[in-house]
DNA sequence: ACCGGCCATCAAGAAAGCGTCAAAGGTGCG
DNA sequence: CGCACCTTTGACGCTTTCTTGATGGCCGGT
């Protein structure tokens, strides 16, 4: 979850931002002035800071400088002042973007996405645990006891369908359709063949599977 | 020297930008339309692109998409339209900033500084190790045992996609799309050809690659 | 207890994908 | 205009993977 720190002394604006950002899946914290903003930033280590320049206790550039001392998280400045000199000062102090009030909330969200996109570029992907093995669907890697395990294309496709429906039973026909195509309905021997291979590569005891389970007559199930 | 590509169909604006940017120590190239912009970007590999959205031949978001396939250099959009929907579309297409005309040249320069600062200090160590070879994506250089290794344009594009996803599997369709364009889907022989050349130039034992790996039936992977 | 259905496992032949070599178009440059 | 380099093709062994068939075990129904 991406953490955003909103710094604004006007409660209604802070509240509006919090609601909008939270609704879009961000984790939001707020601070009403510069001192608390710096403290909150140190405690939370946010991934992005939305900073109003019109704070009661400190100058905006000081806050930026205080943040830039130890973090390189993007800083998106809000301000009522449209003067170019103000913008230049903020940007050169270390801000990444500058939006003048009144602002369109959709545009602000787009700028937030643009700013966070860069940080996410080399990011990690979610991994699923299967007993002693770790499966990374995005990277297409499997690690087991530190060693890499290689899966073939068909094995990946089958495993992916199961892992994307954790705990749920997936019918044999659905598995066949998703992996081999709509013309395959009754080739359950394919499933047996490849489930056995997956178990051999992932389960601690392939003969007695714990996570890749067979539901006789119906299908298969991945149990986390 | 930081290279900037200015894309604008209005000669006086392009000229004004070139003069101002050059005066501030940047190396500037210009392009009057989208097609030439993409060609110039491929040839120059700029560190930043200033892009006017009102181009005669292509939609602005198409140009952004075309650039984003190749490079992750910051894109600063200029536009006469102040509508939020336009801004959101451009930012979500991959732009990093959006400035409406008429703009203050000082502010633009500050935004250029902010965008380039992020690229330099953003924590990305531009040098990647591949066995005995050292690849610098930003400088477009490869050194191996002290000697320079030359890569062709296509080789660079292919290598860049892989290196930007370290450890991750990149599907062959995605590789074809990113390097040769969206009309290439099944020309896996291209991939074989160029992967072989890259391995010959980078791997210690091209016949038994350690870093540029093949995942049969799926794609290729760069393993650090 | 017998039988039939379903599943796991093993063992081939068939097919697809990969690496490599070689050579024909294109393009830019001197 | 010719040259050099890069890109695009084509073809051929070779390995890996997919497909297919056969065998034996487990379980519920008769």
What's the pLDDT tens digit per position in A148-174?
999 999 999 999 999 999 999 999 999
Contact between A93 and B117 (Cβ < 8 Å) = no
pLDDT tens string B124-161: 457 788 888 999 887 889 999 888 999 999 999 999 99
Q: How far apart are CA A7 and CA A51, in angstroms?
A: 5
pLDDT tens string B45-89: 788 999 999 888 888 888 888 788 667 789 999 999 889 999 999
B104 touching chain A per CB within 8 A: yes
Contact between A191 and A212 (Cβ < 8 Å) = no
Distances (CA, A) of B93 to A146, B63, B88, B201, B209: 39, 9, 8, 35, 36
Query: Residue by residue, what is the 3-state secondary structure of chain A?
Result: CCEEEEECCCHHHHHHHHHHHHHCCCEEEEECCHHHHHHHHHHHCCCEEEEECCCCCCCHHHHHHHHHCCCCCCEEEEECCCCHHHHHHHHHHCCCEEEECCCCHHHHHHHHHHHHHHHHCCCCCCEEEECCEEEECCCCEEEECCEEECCCHHHHHHHHHHHCCCCCEEEHHHHHHHHHCCCCCCCHHHHHHHHHHHHHHHCCCCCCCCCEEEECCCEEEECC
pLDDT tens string A66-80: 999 888 899 999 999
Other Cβ atoms closer than 10 A to A168: 11
Q: Quick one: pLDDT at residue B123?
A: 41
**Cis peptide before A102, with omega less than 30 degrees from 0?**
yes
Q: Quick one: pLDDT at residue A120?
A: 60
A chain contacts of residue B97, beta-carbon cutoff 8 Å: 97, 114
Cβ separation A114–B106 shorter than 8 A: no
Cβ separation A141–B88 shorter than 8 A: no
Q: How far from chain centre, in Å, is Cα B28? A: 16
Q: Quick one: pLDDT at residue B38?
A: 82
Cβ separation A110–B92 shorter than 8 A: yes
Residue B121: pLDDT band with limits 50, 70, 90: very low
Between A109 and B37, residue with greater pLDDT: A109
Q: How far apart are CA B215 and CA B218, in angstroms?
A: 6
Q: How far apart are CA A97 and CA A115, in angstroms?
A: 8
Q: Quick one: pLDDT at residue A201?
A: 95
pLDDT tens string A179-224: 999 999 989 999 999 999 999 999 999 999 999 999 999 999 999 8
Sign of torsion over alpha carbons B52, B115, A43, A56:
negative
Query: Residue by residue, what is the 3-state secondary structure of B7-32?
Result: ECCCHHHHHHHHHHHHHCCCEEEEEC
> How many CA atoms does the CB half-sphere of B4 hold within 13 Å?
26
Q: Quick one: pLDDT at residue B125?
A: 52
Cβ separation A107–B118 shorter than 8 A: no
Question: Which of A104, A111, A140 lies at the smallest CB-CB distance from B169?
Answer: A140
Q: Quick one: pLDDT at residue A39?
A: 93
Q: Which of A140, A150, A153 to mutate to test the interface with B (most CBs of B within 10 A)?
A: A140
Question: Which of B114, B164, B218 lies at the smallest CB-CB distance from A140?
Answer: B218
Domains, chain A: 3-118 (3.40.50.2300), 127-222 (1.10.10.10)
B218 touches strand D (CB under 7 A): no
Nearest to A3 by CA among A38, A39, A43: A43
Q: Quick one: pLDDT at residue B156?
A: 92
Q: Is the pLDDT of residue A122 over 70?
A: no
Average pLDDT value for chain B: 89
B190 touches strand D (CB under 7 A): yes
B chain contacts of residue A97, beta-carbon cutoff 8 Å: 97, 114
Sign of torsion over alpha carbons B197, B203, B204, B205:
negative
A chain contacts of residue B110, beta-carbon cutoff 8 Å: 87-88, 91-92
- How close does chain A come to B218, measured CA to CA in Å? 6
B187 touches strand D (CB under 7 A): yes
Residue A8: pLDDT band with limits 50, 70, 90: very high
Place of tokens 């099944």: B186
A12 touches strand D (CB under 7 A): no
pLDDT tens string A169-188: 999 999 999 999 999 998 99
The Å distance, CA of A145 to C1' of D15, is 28
Place of tokens 């984003």: B68
Q: How far apart are CA A131 and CA A142, in angstroms?
A: 12
pLDDT tens string A48-66: 999 999 899 999 999 999 9
A86 touching chain B per CB within 8 A: no
Average pLDDT value for chain A: 92
Q: Quick one: pLDDT at residue B181?
A: 83
A154 touches strand D (CB under 7 A): yes
- Percentage of chain A beyond pLDDT 90 is 83
Phi/psi for B58 (5° steps) reads -140, 160
Closest residue, chain B, to A95 (C-alpha): B114
Cβ separation B107–A125 shorter than 8 A: no
Q: Is the pLDDT of residue A139 over 80?
A: yes
A chain contacts of residue B166, beta-carbon cutoff 8 Å: 122
A84 touching chain B per CB within 8 A: yes
The Å distance, CA of A205 to C1' of C2, is 33
């Amino acid at each position: 979850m991406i953490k955003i720190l909103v710094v604004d002394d006007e409660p209604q604006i802070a509240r509006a931002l919090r609601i909008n950002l939270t609704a879009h899946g961000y984790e939001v914290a707020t601070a009403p002035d510069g001192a608390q903003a710096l403290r909150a930033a140190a405690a939370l280590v946010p991934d992005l800071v939305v900073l109003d320049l019109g704070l009661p206790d400190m100058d905006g550039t000081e806050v930026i400088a205080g943040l830039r001392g130890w973090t390189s998280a993007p800083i998106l400045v809000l301000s009522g002042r449209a003067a170019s000199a103000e913008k230049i000062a903020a940007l050169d102090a270390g801000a990444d973007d500058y939006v003048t009030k009144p602002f369109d909330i959709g545009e602000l969200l787009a700028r937030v996405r643009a700013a966070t996109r860069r940080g996410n570029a080399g990011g990690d992907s979610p991994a699923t645990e299967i007993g002693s093995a770790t499966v990374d669907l995005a990277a297409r890697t499997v690690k087991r006891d530190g060693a890499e395990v290689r899966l073939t294309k068909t094995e990946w496709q089958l495993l992916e369908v199961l892992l994307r429906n954790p705990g749920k039973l997936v019918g044999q026909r659905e598995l066949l359709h998703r992996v081999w195509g709509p013309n395959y309905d009754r080739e359950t021997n394919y499933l047996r063949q490849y489930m056995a291979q997956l178990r051999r590569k992932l389960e601690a005891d392939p003969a007695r599977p714990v996570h890749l389970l067979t539901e006789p007559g119906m299908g298969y199930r991945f149990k986390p």
